[in-house]
Chain A
Amino acid sequence: MKPAPFRYHAPRTEAEALSLLAELAPEEGRVIAGGQSLVPAMALRVARPSHLVDINNVAGFDRLAVEDGWLRVGPLVRHAALGEGAVPGPLGRLLEVVRGQIAHLPIRTRGTVCGSLANADPASEWCLLAATLGARFHVRSLRGERVIEADAFFGGFMTTALAPDEILVELRLPVLSDAAHTGFHEFSRRAGDFAQAAALAVLELREGVIAAPRLGLGAVEDRPRRLLEAEALLAGRAPSEALFREAATTARAGLVPVDEDPYRLDLAETVIRRALSAAAGMPAP
């Protein structure tokens, strides 16, 4: 469990990092930020990058700010930095809840939000959050900058729209309205393990009925995504356990799970119902 040989580069500016990556990407060069997924994979020699471009010293990459209705998260923002202290309102409270589900404290203090998104593990909590809220991904290379919408970013199992020479320089999460209610629920065998199913619900309650629902599911399919049919079913209806069960059943019918075990689909239904109940302020079913 010692990594295969590699060359290490530690740029200090974004320009230097992009230039190194442009040069090294064709030779299996990889960006390393927190390294919480990449380093274990290297130790197992499952990942064998010949070059590592370490962005931990790049000035400004740790920026974290709310501007014009967006939470802007730089590539060196650690999981532990996101939470109520960083962002006010319902989004801050949601981030606080989600952050607590990510692995264990040492991993949260080192791993990065953008690294997790670029890794695109289907069980990643941040990927689910980004997909559900409609995040925007700002990516840059020597070739220029582009913005990728969440539904185009995740391309499949640990696959994204990032080109090898591109760095995810900023994640933008829409700040939630003060009227938004959120619910997150995941199931894993042990505390801190990869989720076997995770769901996120965001909704508003206007005159007793659900408005602007967003419902996302992670860890069940090869990538996290919004469950649009279930969302359509929820909109305009009064929250109830029966409605949430119906939404979960509807969602289940359209899922293409990563394994053929019906248990995975059972879990999907459970986490969907629980996330919705949490958002609606109802007890967990």
Chain B
Amino acid sequence: MMDGITPEAARHILPAGPGKVVGRGVARIEDGPLLRGEGRFAADVNFPRQLHMRVVRAELAHARLLRVDASAARTMPGVVAVWTAEDVAEIPPIPFRATKVRGLEPYCQPVLARDRLRYVGEPVAVVFADDAYRAEDAAEMVVVEAEELPVLLDATAPPAEFAPGLDTEPTVVRKEYGEVGAAFRAAHAVVELELSVGRHSGVPLETRGAIARYDASSDVLELHGTAKKQHWNRDEIARLLGRPPNGVHLFEGHVGGGFGVRGELYPEDLLVCAAALRLRRPIKWIEDRREHFVATNHSREQHHRIRAAVDAEGRLLAIDDAFFHDQGAYVRTHGARVADLAAGMLPGPYRLPAYRVAGHFRLTNKTPAATYRAPGRFETTFVRERLMDAIAHRLGLDPVEVRRRNLVAAAEMPFARPLDTLGTDIILDSGDYEGLLDKALARFGWDAMQEELAARRAAGECVGAGLAFFVEKSGLGPSDGVRISIDATGAVELVSGAASVGQGVETVLAQICAEALGVDYARVRVVHGRTDRIEFGNGAHASRVTVMSGSATWEAALAVREMALETAGTLLQLPPSELTIAEGVVCRADGATGPSVTLAEVARRMGPNAPEMRGRTPGLTAERWFWSDHMAYPYGVHLAQLRIDRGTGAVTVERYLVANDIGRAINPVLVEGQIRGGFAQGLGGALFEEFRYDPQGQPLSTTFADYLIPTIAEMPVVDVLIAEDAPSPLNPLGVKGAGEGGTNAVGAAFAAAVDDALRRPGAVTSLPILPAQVRRMLDGAA
């Protein structure tokens, strides 16, 4: 079962506890250019003779497309071309890469709308002009004639027709194990809830951008401004445009936030590439903020009807859940991934003898949806933890106690659920759930706080507290590779197929490399997100980089170390086992003075012209690939204490703790940053952010004045408890991903705390929790 570890790697497990560099909160090596204003984001990329692309977008949520008249636009100053669907008829719809379910193909999005408009914001035509302003002026002149059709905006409504012979429910994600029916018949009590999570998503500071250039002299198409999944995107762009993959290269600059939405393959990416090839000029497209709100993936919108069967002690016997996943207008690159993750991850940390779930994956006339930080988990943690609170209330139990009784015990690890998600079996790899719960309660002063809150309530304040447990997933395989080379000057280069969306990839990989190799981490050059430097990579998503690329780094660095010691041993006339590397110098491991040699000299001795290399592959370099069949499951608990303003219904966070066991923190400062940043986005989904639509499907949240992301003024101080009690046995570092635990349980914890403040168990049934709703609940509570 633990076949994530290759036998070779098992010999080189990083010992627990802080090392020389690993486990230390060292400064980020990527910050220099960012702090000096020398970063290169998509909009910073420019090429001579470039044209600017402007997308004409649908203004109706559902309509039959009759005619697109671009004749006036084509005569506007500076306009080089205007394309409609007919001009790109040979480009297939955008495919999906994840969670492929048979039957989804007809629901994929064409790069330009063909005969139907399905959401406001759908690309209908593109204008290419010599200036971004002129392109926008000309785009206004494109006339779209369309006949309005009835809109479908509610995923719980009966499915309608998508196209002849196809309805708006392409699939139902079903998972089931155990005797669900029998469990409900034998139950002491059945608790039933109807819960929903609002539509919101990752809204990065940097909008999307794509700059394509075709170099005819070498027959290479380049795409800049990419993120997250360069290799898959490269392969698909090549296939869809009929080119060999080695004639297409993707480049990654700085990325101003990924969060799941950035770096997927979108229509605009293909359009700039096709135009660069056809118009023989570089094509630049920078998404504006209003476009971003309607064009980039939305997420989260789900409606759950859930029932739990419990025994008299509050132990779960079975859960039966039917949920409706609002996918928006098309199936995008993630296929049915979010619905699949929701179905697979819903049971979370609890023992659950029987489970049945039906995830109705439904299309509506809204912006297509896909993953957003903690996809399927933010939603189902809210649902599951609401359920646990409801069970506690029904049986008169303390919310903490009902969780204790159901948590999977440390002795049961690894804990296999008869379930899968993302194509892998769910095997909770390690964990001491109750141990972390105790640590968190103690750190928060939970019991003393309850007394304090009771006293404040008696004095008229509206205050409450709540908690929510979660299980994350991370380190999605199957593979990633890293190549580490030391050149003749002693400089270390690490080439990875991972991508950086700003999370600190360069620092973390450099730390791991430096730990194994005995060099200065700050002098390791980390190359990522470039298809011209490494043949393959699975990119940066699903909290996978530190687990996958980190493990490959560890193994590659150990291999280089072994090579260096061997060569140095020959030079120094000492057995390699008596040598070590410190600060880039190979020397005696026992600390005794004696001959030493720099890694630069070792590298020179291994160069292509070195006589010793005759008949061998030269270079002080190694490439290693890490393979993993199973994911690593971080876990944690969120505790919230908040205050409600009776006059306005506004919620103010007073204290918040995220306790998160991630196996090992390579860089604790970066982990804390991940958790606090993740919390901020969870806070948005819990209290502020929502994409709203009017009854005709017109989006109402298209500026930052309407779509409210939390600002520094709304951010409370968040206490973070990083635990390393349960290292993952699936990789040599013991790490689990840290990217999503800060977001996962925020909605759930706030819901519990608002209920508690209102003294109305179960009052919160939807997210975001809006002041107007809270105010109404206060009236009801009075």
Taking the nearest CB of chain B, how far is it from the CB of A20, in angstroms? 24
Complex interface bits, A1-15 against B, C-beta within 8 A gives 1, otherwise 0: 111110000000000
Q: Bound state CA distance, A263 and B773, in angstroms?
A: 9
Residues A2 and B710 in contact, CB atoms below 8 Å apart: no
A190:B688 contact, CB within 8 angstroms: yes
A24 beta carbon closer than 8 Å to chain B: no
Which of B290, B649, B708 interacts with A190 by CB under 8 Å?
B708
State in angstroms the CA–CA spacing of A266 and B778 once bound together: 12
- A190 B710 Cβ-Cβ under 8 A: yes
**For residue A44, which residue of chain B has the nearest CB?**
B290
Are B136 and A189 touching (Cβ within 8 A)?
Answer: no
Whether B711 contacts A192 by the Cβ 8 Å rule is: yes
Which positions 640-688 of chain B face chain A at CB distance < 8 Å? Answer: 647-650, 688
Tell me if A191 and B711 are in contact (CB < 8 A).
yes
Residue numbers in B under 8 Å from A193 (CB-CB): 705, 708
Known contacts A1-B288, A192-B713; is A266 also within 8 Å of B775 by CB? yes
Partner of B648, one of A2, A3, A187, A261: A187
Among residues of A, the one whose C-beta sits closest to the C-beta of B773 is A263
Q: Is B648 a contact of A1 with CB atoms below 8 Å?
A: no
Type the 1/0 row for A248-285, where 1 means its CB is closer than 8 Å to any CB of B.
00000000000001010011011001100000000001
B772, CB-defined interface residue at 8 Å: yes
Residues in chain A near residue B772, CB distance under 8 A = 261, 263
Q: Whole-angstrom distance from the CB of A85 to the nearest CB of chain B?
A: 24
Residues of B within 8 A of A261 (CB): 772
* In contact, B708 and A1 (Cβ under 8 angstroms): no
Across the interface, A189 reaches (CB within 8 A) one of B133, B703, B771, B776, namely B771
- Write out the residue numbers on chain A whose beta carbons fall within 8 Å of the beta carbon of B650: 187, 189
Given contacts A2-B136, A261-B772, A270-B648, contact A191 B705 (CB under 8 A): no
Q: Is the CB of B648 within 8 A of A191?
A: no
Q: Which residues of B contact A194 (CB under 8 A)?
A: 705
Contact B714 A190 (CB under 8 A): yes
Cα-based distance from A263 to B648 in the complex (angstroms): 8
Bound-state Cα–Cα, A45 to B714, Å: 31
Question: In chain B, what residue has the closest Cβ to A197?
Answer: B648
Q: Which residues of A contact B289 (CB under 8 A)?
A: 1
Tell me whether B461 is interfacial, beta carbon within 8 Å.
no
Which residues, 679 to 720 on B, are CB-close (under 8 Å) to A?
A: 688, 703, 705, 708, 710-711, 713-714
Does residue B5 face the partner (Cβ distance < 8 Å to A)?
no
Separation of A267 and B647 alpha carbons in the complex (Å): 7
Give A270 to B705 CA distance when docked, in angstroms.
Answer: 23
A2 to B136, CA, bound (A): 7
Give chain B residues whose Cβ lies under 8 Å from the Cβ of A45.
Answer: 140
Residues 133-153 of B at the A interface (beta carbon under 8 Å): 133, 136-137, 140
Number of interface residues of B (CB under 8 A): 24
CA–CA, A187 to B775, complex, Å? Answer: 13
Minimal beta-carbon separation of B285 from chain A (angstroms): 13
In the complex, the answer to whether B137 meets A190 with C-beta atoms within 8 Å is no
Given contacts A189-B708, A193-B708, A261-B772, contact A270 B647 (CB under 8 A): yes
Asked if residues A191 and B647 are in contact (CB atoms below 8 Å), the reply is no
Q: How far is the CA of A187 from the CA of B713 in the complex (A)?
A: 14
Q: Is the CB of A44 within 8 A of B703?
A: yes
Contact A273 B688 (CB under 8 A): no
Residue of B nearest to A5 (CB): B137
Residues on the A chain within 8 Å of B91, using CB: none
Task: Report the minimal beta-carbon distance from A267 to chain B, rounded to whole angstroms.
Answer: 6
Question: Does B422 count as interface, using CB distance less than 8 angstroms?
Answer: no
User: Contact partner of A273 among B647, B710, B714, CB < 8 A?
Assistant: B647
Do the beta carbons of A274 and B705 come within 8 Å of each other? no
Give A270 to B714 CA distance when docked, in angstroms.
Answer: 21
For A1, list chain B residues within 8 Å (CB): 288-290
Q: Which B residues touch A189, using CB under 8 A? A: 650, 688, 708, 771
Expressed in whole angstroms, the minimum distance between the Cβ of B114 and any Cβ of chain A is 27
Residues of B within 8 A of A266 (CB): 647-648, 775
In the assembled complex, B132 has its CB within 8 A of some CB on chain A? yes
A161 to B713, alpha carbons, bound, how many Å? 37
Q: How far is the CA of A40 from the CA of B705 in the complex (A)?
A: 11
Cβ–Cβ contact A267 & B648, under 8 A: yes
Query: How many angstroms between the C-alpha atoms of A194 and B704 in the bound complex?
Result: 12
Contact A191 B133 (CB under 8 A): no
What distance in Å separates the Cβ of B75 from its nearest Cβ neighbour in chain A?
16
8 Å CB contact of A285 from B647, B688, B705: B647
Question: What chain B residues lie within 8 Å of A5 (beta carbons)?
Answer: 133, 137
A5 and B650 CA atoms in complex are apart in Å by 42
Q: Give Cα distance in the complex from A232 to B133, angstroms.
A: 56
Asked if A190 contacts B647 (CB within 8 A), the reply is no
Residues facing A in B723-782 (CB within 8 A) are 771-772, 775-776
Residues of A within 8 A of B132 (CB): 2
* Min C-beta distance of A102 to chain B, whole Å: 14
C-alpha spacing A191/B711, complex, angstroms: 8
Closest to B779 in A: A266
Q: Is the CB of A4 within 8 A of B648?
A: no
How far is A274 from B645 in the complex, measured between Cα atoms in Å? 12
Q: Which residues of A contact B714 (CB under 8 A)?
A: 190-191
Closest to B288 in A: A1
Task: Give every chain B residue within 8 A of A285 (Cβ-Cβ).
Answer: 647
Q: How far is the CB of B704 from chain A (nearest CB, A)?
A: 10
One digit per residue, 1 when the CB lies within 8 angstroms of any chain B CB and 0 when it does not, for chain A 191-215 equals 1111000000000000000000000
* C-alpha spacing A267/B646, complex, angstroms: 10
Residues from chain B with a CB closer than 8 A to the CB of A269 are 647
CA distance A270 to B774 in the complex (A): 15
Q: A194 to nearest B CB, angstroms?
A: 7
Which A residues lie within 8 Å of B776 (CB)?
263
B248 to chain A, nearest CB (A): 30
Cβ of A267: which chain B residues have Cβ within 8 Å of it? Answer: 647-648
Chain A positions within 8 Å of B710 at CB level: 190
In the complex, are the beta carbons of B136 and A190 less than 8 A apart? Answer: no
Contact mask for chain A residues 213-235; partner B; CB cutoff 8 A; 1 contact, 0 none: 00000000000000000000000
* Residue of A40, A190, A191, A192 with most chain B CB atoms under a 10 A cut-off: A190
Q: How far is the CA of A46 from the CA of B357 in the complex (A)?
A: 47
Known A190-B708, A193-B705: A263·B775 in contact at CB below 8 Å: yes
- Nearest B residue to A270 via CB reads B647
**In the assembled complex, which residues on chain B have CB atoms less than 8 Å from the CB atom of A270?**
647-648
Tell me, in angstroms, the Cα distance from A154 to B714 when the chains sit together. 33
Say how far A197's CB is from chain B's closest CB, in angstroms: 9
Q: Which of B619-651 contact A (CB under 8 A)?
A: 647-650
Shortest beta-carbon distance, A257 to chain B, in Å? 13
Task: Give Cα A113–Cα B650 distance, bound, in whole angstroms.
Answer: 29
Minimum distance in angstroms from A46 CB to a CB of chain B: 10
CB under 8 Å from chain A, chain B span 265-323: 288-290
Residues 1-41 (chain A) with a chain B CB within 8 angstroms: 1-5, 40
Instruction: Select the residue from A3, A192, A267, A274 with max chain B CB neighbours within 10 A.
Output: A267
**Of residues B132, B137, B648, which shows the largest number of chain A Cβ atoms within 10 Å of its Cβ?**
B648
A3 to B133, CA, bound (A): 8
Q: In the complex the two chains form, is A2's CB within 8 Å of B133's CB?
A: yes
Contact of A274 among B288, B647, B708, B713 (CB under 8 A): B647
Give the shortest distance, in Å, between B777 (CB) and chain A (any CB). Answer: 12
Nearest B residue (CB) for A104: B711
A181 to B528, CA, bound (A): 62
- Complex: A266 Cα to B714 Cα, angstroms: 23
Give the CA-CA distance A5 to B140 in the complex, in Å: 12
Residue of B nearest to A266 (CB): B775
Starting from the known contacts A194-B705, A266-B647, 12 additional A-B residue pairs (CB-CB under 8 Å) come to A1-B290, A4-B137, A44-B290, A45-B140, A187-B648, A189-B650, A189-B688, A193-B705, A261-B772, A266-B648, A267-B648, A269-B647
8 contacts between A and B (CB under 8 A): A1-B288, A2-B132, A4-B137, A190-B714, A191-B713, A263-B772, A263-B776, A269-B647
Q: Closest 9 A-B residue pairs measured CB to CB?
A: A191-B713, A270-B647, A1-B288, A263-B772, A2-B133, A2-B136, A187-B648, A189-B708, A190-B714
Q: Which residues of A contact B (CB under 8 A)?
A: 1-5, 40, 44-45, 187, 189-194, 261, 263, 266-267, 269-270, 273-274, 285
